[in-house]
Amino acid sequence: MNHDRTSNQNIPSQAWKRPIGLGWDNPYTVRYASNLDDGPWHGMPLGGFGAGCIGRSPRGDFNLWHIDGGEHIFRNLPACQFSVFEETKGKKQAYALCTQAPTDGSLSSWKWYPNEGRRKKEEGRRKEAEEGNRNRKGGIWEEEDAKWEEDEGTEDLNSSGTYYALYPRSWFVYENVFEAQLNCEQFSPILPNNYQESSYPVAMFEWVAHNPTDAPITLSIMLTWQNTVGWFTNANKSTEVKVRDDGSPVYDYQPRWEESGGNLNLLVEDFHRIGCVMTRLSASEEAKEGEGQWAIATITNPAVEVFYQTRWNPAGNGEDIWKHFSREGFLLDDKDETAAAAGEQLACAIAVRFTIRPGKTRKIPFFLAWDFPITEFASGVEYYRRYTDFFGRNGKNAWPMIRTAMKHSDTWRESIEAWQKPILERQDLSNSFKMALFNELYALTDGGTLWTAADERDPKGQFAVLECIDYRWYESLDVRLYGSFALLMLWPDLEKSVILAFARSISAGDNTPRVIGWNQASAIRKAVGATPHDLGAPNEHPWEKTNYTSYQDCNLWKDLPCDFVLQVYRDFLLTGSTDFDFLQECWPAIVEALAYLKTFDKDGDGIPENSGAPDQTFDDWQMQGISAYCGGLWLAALEGAIAIGSILENAAPEVIPHPQEQVALYHIWLEKARPNYQEKLWNGRYYRLDSESNSEVVMADQLCGQFYAKLLGLPDIVPPECAVSALETVYESCFLKFNDGEFGAANGVMLNGAPENPNATHPLEVWTGINFGLAAFLVQLGMQEKAFKLTDAVVKQIYENGLQFRTPEAITAGGTFRASHYLRAMAIWAIYGVLTGFK
């Protein structure tokens, strides 16, 4: 019996894989107790951008619930599950397809899927029989021994199956438990350059069942789902913001978990479709946050039997549904629309039973949709989600989504395959790189993503992804300098919408005083002309109230205005150099941002100085005077602004401030700054951290400005031979000499790879996104082999140590991580972009 031959033929070999239910011996753990650590049981998320998403782990449980915009709930709902009944040659068995039984005592009558296959199972049974029958002859011992001999002739049956993931598709292949070969593919219609279907809150589950035996097999596949309408909204309406022990602002989120009173389930039969809609009694025609519907469905045809049960108790022992399913694979066809009383829980189920003749295969599809059209931020601040532009806004459209998914799911999957195929077929890329390239896109689904309905100003809506779950604010500008390449390359209109939101916010001010977490000083929230660090948080009003973070005073940061200018020019240049309206709308903000930053050039040498406080993306790392990192970004940003101004002089000469005057000014600043940067920072081998601290540390990202200048076809900010020398030094010291290159490149170490300060935080961390940015720089300078050696080291740490689908900002050589679900890791697309010339 070889399950791989048939079951796995359509699964790309590049997909990440793990045995179903196999735990981790020594997964990474969180560095700071206050940070989020959900453990390693994360799988690929399902759902459209900004529609809310769910996640299903490699042990088979649905355990991630990002249904409320910007909020994170990680817990298993056991009643949300697939189960399989099988009968062949007079033998029957049934399992719920998760390897972990509920820990709260619910569903105790259910049988849960084993995480080891028949061989280990039979080995255990043989040992038990041997212990109990040492002095017996015949009977049980002979029966067990015969069974063991039968299994001895088969392949190694230790595994009960394998989970595979290549975003936006994932697969469960079930082996060595059922006689049938079974796999389930699950996906949502995430498609590049698609601004409609990519927003849909739908998930498809296509089962493929094959009979490799010489006897008929009867199977029944059941999908159960708990009615959670009303749960996903904050019960705590307090506006209080606290400061966590690491200095980050936090607020309390209390979902209305298990508040199911008034919920009810409806059977829907519609031509060849059948399913259950989970909804709630409501007197209002207008939905509020948390109100809406779930729906599950399948397709009927003469070759299968479909059963249903619209109401059963997921908080009980589960016998009300398991009794009949586990014995014969059917449900009672009970249509009960009684609403749940206060404190009561309810769930529904559909099952498809069919028989497969020897050698035959059958496909059985299931569909899941949810419709929660409103995201509320601060009380009364509400936005419709993007998908409501296509399905309406009353929260009663789960079934129309099901119909749409049934009609188009095959086309969607073919489109996903066509998108991925050219990349997967490239011979110059490793399978691990291809795997991570696609799987790191998971953050666009599960990053607390917002995507609003369209309006006249934003014809494709507004979009935003959290920096991470721990730092819960949107689109941190310094982080997305690397982390936004995926969005730029695949959904450029969404990328530009983010940059336009920053452009609109620069001239705004907010004098609200706040305590700065790093040093307890007081500072205003947002200075007029300062480039904001972020676009706000889920508990306030994103896009309107910016600069949510208060760990540092971001009005003093020296990289943010440069990051803004460079991303504007990048987004224009790498999307065809034709969107002059985009440049024109950003131009006044560019002029204001650079003028504001120039005020920090206290000595008049043309370069703003770092102040000694951590005033850039490495916000625990102090720099003094001109820094290689911020100074280089300044030079590149001036070049970018000159290029933008020159374009606008020809395309839109009437724009204010007048491009010609600004270009002339930026030339003056640049001519003064460039020689000072080289003279004060170049030490003959690499660029010093800064001009005043006397540090000899090798900073990994010292030449981010040069990377961007070359990326955008701007003049080099440093001599090319100096860039090569510096990057080779970073590779040797920060990567190869830091723990023998096992973890990736540390942010900053001495030439010999040792720490400058053993107690430092950021310098001794390996930042995933910065490493991918460095790899892109290595490719840019012709060091492709080194680039992929560095990349593969980081990818290995993430995907072999339980960090998959929660990629952190930072890992350490001690096996700890910080800030999971991090935005910057999507910088892996910068590597592919540089490699292909962004084509």
d(CA 218, CA 79): 24
Q: Which two tokens stand for residue 597?
A: 């930053």
pLDDT reported for residue 283: 65
Indicate whether 536 pLDDT > 70: yes
With a CB cutoff of 8 Å and minimum separation 6, the contacts of 340 are 227, 260, 261, 262, 263, 264, 346
Is the link from the previous residue into 763 a cis peptide, with omega within 30 of 0?
Answer: no
Pick from 809, 711, 730: nearest CA to 769: 809
Q: Which residue has the tokens 């102090």?
A: 622
pLDDT band at 141 (very low <50, low <70, confident <90, very high): very low
Burial of 565 (0-12, 13-18, 19+ CB in 10 A): buried
CA-based R_g, the chain, Å: 29
Cα-Cα-Cα-Cα dihedral of 793, 798, 804, 805, to 10°? -90
Task: Evaluate whether 398 touches 371 at the Cβ level (below 8 Å).
Answer: yes
| Alpha-helical regions (H) of 425-491 | 431-439, 443-446, 480-483, 485-490
d(CA 525, CA 463): 23
Pick from 567, 451, 487, 577: nearest CA to 828: 487
pLDDT reported for residue 246: 84
Q: For residue range 205-264, what is the model confidence (pLDDT) as tens digits? A: 999 999 999 999 999 999 999 999 999 999 998 888 988 888 889 999 999 999 999 999
Burial of 720 (0-12, 13-18, 19+ CB in 10 A): exposed
Q: Quick one: average pLDDT of 560-574?
A: 98
Q: Which residues pair with 749 in a beta bridge?
A: 698
pLDDT reported for residue 135: 36
Indicate whether 155 pLDDT > 70: no
Q: For residue range 717-749, what is the model confidence (pLDDT) as tens digits? A: 999 999 999 999 999 999 999 999 999 999 999
| Angle ∠(303,363,6) on CA atoms, nearest 5 | 130
SS3 state at 63: strand
User: Which one-letter DSSP state was computed for residue 500?
Assistant: H
Indicate whether 148 pLDDT > 60: no
Per the model's pLDDT, the better-predicted residue between 130 and 385 turns out to be 385
Q: For residue range 72-102, what is the model confidence (pLDDT) as tens digits? A: 999 999 999 999 999 999 999 999 999 999 9
Q: Which residue has the tokens 């070359």?
A: 710
Determine which helix (DSSP H) or strand (DSSP E) holds 299, and give its type and residue range. Answer: strand 293-299
Phi, psi of 416 (to 5 degrees): -60, -45
d(CA 554, CA 163): 43
Indicate whether 554 pLDDT > 90: yes
Q: Quick one: average pLDDT of 148-172?
A: 73
pLDDT reported for residue 150: 35
pLDDT reported for residue 71: 97
d(CA 172, CA 279): 29
pLDDT reported for residue 838: 96
d(CA 467, CA 538): 12
Lowest mean pLDDT segment, chosen from 140-154, 199-213, 462-476, 600-614:
140-154
Q: Output the CA–CA distances (angstroms, integers) from residue 535 to 108, 116, 512, 531, in the order listed.
A: 46, 47, 16, 10
d(CA 590, CA 665): 13
pLDDT band at 120 (very low <50, low <70, confident <90, very high): low
Is the link from the previous residue into 755 a cis peptide, with omega within 30 of 0?
Answer: no
d(CA 753, CA 768): 18
pLDDT reported for residue 652: 86
pLDDT reported for residue 10: 87
pLDDT band at 7 (very low <50, low <70, confident <90, very high): low
**Amino acid, single-letter form, for residue 518:** W
Lowest mean pLDDT segment, chosen from 111-125, 325-339, 412-426, 732-746:
111-125
Q: Which two tokens stand for residue 100?
A: 């972990």
pLDDT reported for residue 106: 97
Q: Quick one: average pLDDT of 662-684?
A: 98
pLDDT band at 151 (very low <50, low <70, confident <90, very high): very low
How many whole angstroms from its chain centre is CA 100? 24
Task: Evaluate whether 426 touches 416 at the Cβ level (below 8 Å).
Answer: no
Q: Percent of the chain beyond pLDDT 90?
A: 90
Determine which helix (DSSP H) or strand (DSSP E) holds 651, and give its type and residue range. Answer: helix 628-651
Q: Quick one: average pLDDT of 499-513?
A: 98
d(CA 683, CA 484): 32
Indicate whether 287 pLDDT > 70: yes
SS3 state at 567: helix
Pick from 691, 696, 591: nearest CA to 640: 591
Q: For residue range 797-820, what is the model confidence (pLDDT) as tens digits? A: 999 999 999 999 999 999 999 999
Q: How many residues does the chain have?
A: 839
The per-residue pLDDT of the chain, averaged, comes to: 94
Q: For residue range 310-356, what is the model confidence (pLDDT) as tens digits? A: 999 999 999 999 999 999 999 999 999 999 999 999 999 999 999 99
pLDDT band at 821 (very low <50, low <70, confident <90, very high): very high
Indicate whether 139 pLDDT > 50: no
pLDDT reported for residue 298: 98
Q: Is 739 left (phi over 0), alpha (psi -120 to 50) or beta?
A: left
d(CA 480, CA 465): 10
pLDDT reported for residue 158: 80
